Amino acid sequence: MDRCRFFGSLSSYLDGQLEDKQRLELEEHLKTCVSCKKEISLLKALSGGLKKWQIPDLDKSFDRSVQDRIVLGELEKGEVKMKRKLFPILIPSGILAGVLVFLVVGSLWKAAYFKTIEPVTYKVEKKAGAEVKQVPVDFAKTSPGVVSREVPASTAYSTGSVMKSRSVAVNENAGQGYYGFQFTPSGDFNTEAYDRIYDNDYKLVANEALSTFSIDVDTASYSNVRRFLNQNQLPPKDAVRIEELVNYFTYNYPDPQGTDPFSVTTEVAAAPWNKKHQLVLIGLQAKKIETKNLPKTNLVFLLDVSGSMQDANKLPLVKSAFRLLVNQLRPEDKISIVVYAGAAGVVLDSASGSEKDKVLQAIDNLQAGGSTAGGQGIQLAYEIAKKNLMKDGNNRVILATDGDFNIGVTDDGALTRMIEEKRDDGIFLSIFGFGMGNYKDSKMEKIADKGNGTLAYIDNMLEAKKVFVSQLAGTLFTVAKDVKIQVEFNPAKVKAYRLIGYENRVLQNKDFNDDKKDAGEIGAGHTVTALYEIVPAGSKEEFPGTDALKYQQVKVAPSDELLTVKLRYKEPDGDTSKLLTKILRPQDASVQPTENYNFATSVAEFGMILRDSKYKGSSAYDDVLQRAKASKGKDDDGYRAEFIKLVELAQLLDTKGK
């Protein structure tokens, strides 16, 4: 499987685009990998062929003059122009077709500057333990004037995988053929990245009575899980963040009253997967604001147009999704567009929401190609947002990417530090993930968390409609930032507790009162739900703990309260937090759980099954389905009905499930 990891980096290695660490690692790998050595030899041979075919004796000023003419698509004169920083990404069709090979020798796989015939497809099978490869078709039979040459198929990554490779570009004028690359593996080739998740353990109240965490309104995990299931695959365990599954749905919590931007709801009932335990629900409902009543907005679209974004579920879906967003904007709103590939550039600077045709044309003309300087793009987007800052408005960078940054600032730590510096300017960040195969979930989640923003994953146009139309107010406008929750459990009523999900949002208890500590944001109309599984004080269950203190005794204050919920939040432009408090008392066993409780717990239980959590107890698909169907309630958009279908699909796919 080492080859799977290194194979996609070979052309970048030959082009000198790898960082020193990646280069050294690959060179060490090449000492032992025969198939990668063969591929390197093939790439070098094709490079030599291209150099022989290039047009000779061009004036030295030619390359610069061509670059000066490059714009994003065929735009009207005087409209959308590239700034000086923009890397030559896209070429007007039909212009200088006979000479552009000269410009792309350093990037062999990119043949999009020519009329490109369908890439060769290799179907790989296994027979008697030996690998059987099909060679490409004879291009001369279908394309007169093209040099015919057999190009050996690459070794497959696994049985049955299909990969597109070795395309031929045709110069329409000269009729001469050029071999290029359009290497886009599909099937089992996968470099998606997810951070390891360790389920929160039980805490003994006698030792740790306080539990503190940051809220999270991200929903990326749910739509990503849906993508896997719709492809008839169970998702990787670490792609399942239970809080994001639960918070994908809205709940019928009461609207806030008074000056606070959200209400707080609490509920407790028996845990469905362990009747000896109880489950505490904490729900927040942010105030609702109609789109037309939102403050004026300064938006910077930061769009990844690198070569990794070529697939139909990446840049083409980005363009369709952002068309929906643009059509919701008002004349008082401002839109800028920054793109990045090998470098970053400004495509559009502060167009009015009334200039929709201009904005849409700029989006429509985007094409993909080149490497991925995501860090440079983020930095430039913040600069544009700050230049056009609306002091009495809403300022936000909206990043659309697969998260595959490979040049410039790529280290997670460096990226997050850069984002932390920028957020103090009052500019929020929303990130929307696209695509599959190389989706970098872990990187994007870190960036969104540090940028006072949210992370969503768009797998289809219905999801785009959800975030850019139905829930646009919540997507664009934050009603409270740095929202933290701290729960104090009463040891007289609770022996132990466990926070379900929010593993990467847990804070130290001292962070709750520290206004310098970053936490989550909540947008207009959003709901936030958190669940604690608690063990009653009289339980005989044993949990690991510390020895009793010798010099300090803990005295339990008499109280009939189960727990106290405290919340801290800041206004979107504020620096000082405000405190809210809510007390929860034990629930009468005769009181039936609400629809909110039943549906939220069914989603959480589903998440624990997918994660194969050691705390899933008696969780089973049938129980999830029964409770979800009974609590579907009003479902105008069909999201809960879709959830039920996904559970049924997962049950069919899970040979180990109950």
Domain ranges of the chain: 2-55+98-185, 203-273+479-540+555-653, 291-465
Phi, psi of 317 (to 5 degrees): -70, -35
pLDDT at 54: 45
Q: Quote the CA–CA distance of 273 and 380 in Å, as a whole number.
A: 49
Query: For 468, which DSSP code?
Result: I
The pTM score is 0.71
The answer to whether 354 touches 383, Cβ cutoff 8 Å, is no
The whole-chain average pLDDT of the chain stands at 78
CA distance 149 to 152: 10
For residue range 493-531, list pLDDT tens digits in order. 999 999 999 999 999 999 999 999 989 999 999 999 999
For residue 172, name the pLDDT band (cuts at 50, 70, 90). Answer: very low
Residue 55: predicted pLDDT: 42
- 3-state per-residue secondary structure call for 589-656: CCCCCCHHHHHHHHHHHHHHHHHCCCCCCCCCHHHHHHHHHHCCCCCCCCHHHHHHHHHHHHHHHCCC
At 534-565, the pLDDT tens digits run: 999 989 999 888 788 889 887 888 899 999 99
Of residues 112 and 222, the one with the higher pLDDT is 222
Q: Which residue type is seen at 150?
A: E
pLDDT at residue 327 is higher than 80: yes
With a cut of 80, say whether residue 591 has pLDDT above it: yes
The pLDDT tens digits for 191-204 are 788 889 999 999 99
Protein fold of 291-465: Rossmann fold (3.40.50)
Compute the C-alpha angle 410/189/430, nearest 5°: 40
Which of 407, 8, 20 lies closest to 192, judged by CA? 8
